[in-house]
């Protein structure tokens, strides 16, 4: 059996029984430890995780940042690889991670980042806002924590230089168009909460200009046009998502009940 890396894979999941087998199989056998933290799960996620050799914990949802830090605290190895259940370590990325640990200077880095590639409809998306989408997911637990916003856009914060690895992290985030569309409102909810916490205010100029910029940047500047129709859809959907977020902020600030018509009824 090949020597395992001094690495804890840490996964936070809720009702991901359909995704966990692929994710866990991609790391099983070459990492020292797999930690799966479940919150509010009602499917077979716990059984599947244990079948793949994972140590399972349960906790209440604390927001993305704080739940991931809670999970990180239950790892025991010096390095951590943070994954989502709908992600998969490709063979090329595994080779990149193993090569990183063979480097004599790898301890001089607090972590390592690598590109994430999304499967969408009928192809891997290779341009636009979705690729290369570098993610810092491999890090030394003593020199990194999940930081950023408590509601959304959490990120790993480190105190030392970060290496860049080859090989893609595969992401199967949107099994259908309907699932992608369904996520627009939940992300808008988180955006509104985030803006309230920051005392952010609605801006008409931003609401008008930002969606157009999002489309132009993704489809033209980042060559989303080379991804065929999915590239066109992604650029427009990201633009529409921005419009919804700012419109929801407008609504949260100004919504009023309609006046009562004294002559009605």
Q: What is the pTM of this model?
A: 0.89
Mean pLDDT of the chain: 94
CATH no., domain 5-174: 3.90.550.10
pLDDT (average), residues 20-33: 97
In the numeric block, which tokens belong to residue 112? 């390592």
Q: What's the burial of 169, exposed, middle or buried (CB within 10 Å: 0-12/13-18/19+)?
A: buried
Q: What is the DSSP string of 236-247?
A: HHHHHHHHHHHH
pLDDT digits (tens, 9 = 90+) for 32-48: 999 999 999 999 999 99
pLDDT of residue 262: 62
Count of CB atoms situated within 10 Å of the CB of 54: 22
**DSSP per-residue letters across 105-147:** TGGG-SEEEE-EEEEETTEEE-SGGGSS--EEEEEEGGGEEEE
Task: Quick: pLDDT tens for 91-136.
Answer: 999 999 999 999 999 999 999 999 999 999 999 999 999 999 999 9
SS3 251: helix
Q: Is the pLDDT of residue 2 over 70?
A: no
- Of 12-21, 44-53, 237-246, 250-259, the least confident: 250-259
Average pLDDT over every residue of 215-223: 97
pLDDT band at 1 (very low <50, low <70, confident <90, very high): very low
Please state the rounded mean pLDDT for residues 142-148: 93
Please check the confidence at residue 263 and state whether its pLDDT lies above 70.
Answer: no
Residue 148 structure tokens: 């950023």
Which of 59, 14, 10, 15 lies closest to 35 in space, CA to CA?
10
Domain residues of the chain, as ranges? Answer: 5-174, 177-254
Question: Residue 258: its pLDDT value, please?
Answer: 85
pLDDT of 154: 85
- Is the pLDDT at 197 greater than 90, yes or no? no
Q: Tell me: the pLDDT tens digits for 54-86?
A: 999 999 999 899 999 999 999 999 999 999 999
């Amino acid at each position: 059996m090949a020597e395992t890396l001094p690495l804890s894979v840490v996964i936070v999941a809720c009702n991901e029984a359909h995704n966990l087998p692929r994710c866990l199989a991609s790391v099983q056998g070459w990492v020292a430890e797999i930690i799966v933290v479940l919150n509010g799960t009602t499917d077979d996620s716990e059984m599947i995780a244990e079948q793949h050799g994972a140590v399972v914990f349960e906790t209440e949802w604390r927001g993305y940042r704080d739940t991931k830090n809670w999970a990180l605290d239950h790892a025991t190895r010096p390095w951590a690889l943070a994954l989502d259940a709908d992600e998969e370590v490709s063979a090329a990325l595994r080779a990149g991670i193993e090569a990183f640990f063979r480097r004599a200077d790898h301890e001089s880095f607090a972590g390592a980042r690598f590109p994430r590639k999304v499967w969408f409809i009928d192809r891997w998306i290779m341009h636009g806002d979705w690729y290369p989408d570098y993610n810092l997911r491999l890090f030394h637990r003593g020199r990194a924590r999940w930081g950023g916003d408590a509601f959304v856009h959490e990120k790993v914060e480190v105190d030392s230089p970060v290496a860049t690895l080859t090989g893609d992290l595969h992401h199967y985030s949107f099994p259908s168009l309907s699932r992608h569309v369904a996520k627009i409102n939940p992300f808008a909810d988180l955006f509104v909460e985030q803006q309230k916490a920051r005392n952010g205010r609605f801006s008409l100029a931003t609401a008008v200009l930002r969606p157009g910029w999002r489309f132009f940047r993704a489809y033209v500047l980042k060559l989303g046009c080379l991804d065929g129709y999915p590239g066109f859809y992604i650029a427009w959907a990201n633009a529409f998502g921005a419009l919804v977020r700012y419109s929801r902020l407008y609504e949260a600030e100004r919504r009023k009940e309609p006046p009562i018509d004294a002559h009605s009824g």
